[in-house]
């Protein structure tokens, strides 16, 4: 559990300048929101471990913060904190990344419909927009999952 505690402490430290968002992380100096190397992916992993009520509340409030910063016309999510471009809908960026965490928090907190509804809304964004036209970039992420990939073995 020391690793989980360190991840939560780091997230609270990076978020200290924004009281609306209790957890935040940086990768190469950018506050990414994505599943691959950002906030949504970290929250998703944290939800696989036993968390205190305070920790769960911080995860929920962070997800609420992300939900409140969706792009109003599309319902999509920013790639990173403060990024105004509503461009990407793929596993590592945009609505696709966030719904993974929304589904997990809905599983963990089965009586909380707020996040389940947000996951459904995110799914609608993915359905309407489709996966990124940058299929080659998608394949870069998927390549890392192959058994022969240097990332795995």
| Cβ proximity of 85 and 28 under 8 Å | no
Residue 149 lies in a domain: no
Question: Who contacts 46 (Cβ-Cβ below 8 Å, separation ≥6)?
Answer: 4, 7, 8, 55, 59
Residue 76 lies in a domain: yes
Residue 115 lies in a domain: yes
Task: Give mean pLDDT, residues 103-112.
Answer: 83
Residue 148 lies in a domain: no
Residue whose C-alpha is closest to residue 92's, from 22, 144, 15: 144
Q: What is the pTM of this model?
A: 0.78
pLDDT in tens, 58-102: 999 999 999 999 888 888 888 888 888 777 665 556 677 788 888
Question: Who contacts 63 (Cβ-Cβ below 8 Å, separation ≥6)?
Answer: 43, 98, 101, 102, 105, 115, 118
Give me the pLDDT at residue 81, please: 84
What residues form DSSP beta bridges with 93? 90
Residue 30 lies in a domain: yes
Across the chain, how many H-helices and E-strands are there? 6, 0
Residue 150 lies in a domain: no
DSSP characters over 25-81? --BTTB-B-STTTSHHHHHHHHTTS---HHHHHHHHHHHHHHHHTS-TTT----SBT
Residue 153 lies in a domain: no
Q: For the chain, what is the domain count?
A: 1
What is the residue-averaged pLDDT of the chain?
80
Q: How far apart are the first and last CA of the chain?
A: 26
* Domain housing 95: 2-143
Residue 152 lies in a domain: no
Q: Which of 16-25, 60-69, 88-97, 123-132 has the lowest mean pLDDT?
A: 88-97
Give me the pLDDT at residue 103, please: 86
């Amino acid at each position: 559990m020391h690793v989980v505690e360190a991840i939560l402490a780091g997230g609270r430290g990076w978020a200290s300048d924004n009281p609306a968002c209790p957890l935040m992380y940086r990768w190469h100096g950018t506050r990414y929101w994505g599943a691959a190397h950002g906030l949504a992916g970290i929250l998703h992993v944290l939800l696989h471990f036993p968390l205190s009520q305070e920790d769960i509340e911080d995860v929920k409030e962070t997800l609420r913060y992300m939900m409140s910063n969706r792009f109003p016309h599309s319902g999509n999510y920013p790639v990173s904190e403060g990024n105004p471009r509503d461009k990407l809908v793929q596993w590592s960026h945009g609505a696709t990344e966030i719904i993974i965490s929304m589904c997990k928090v809905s599983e963990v907190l089965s009586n909380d419909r707020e996040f389940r509804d947000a996951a459904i809304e995110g799914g609608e964004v993915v359905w309407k927009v489709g996966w990124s036209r940058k299929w080659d970039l998608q394949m870069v992420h998927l390549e890392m999952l192959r058994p022969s990939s240097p990332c795995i073995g």
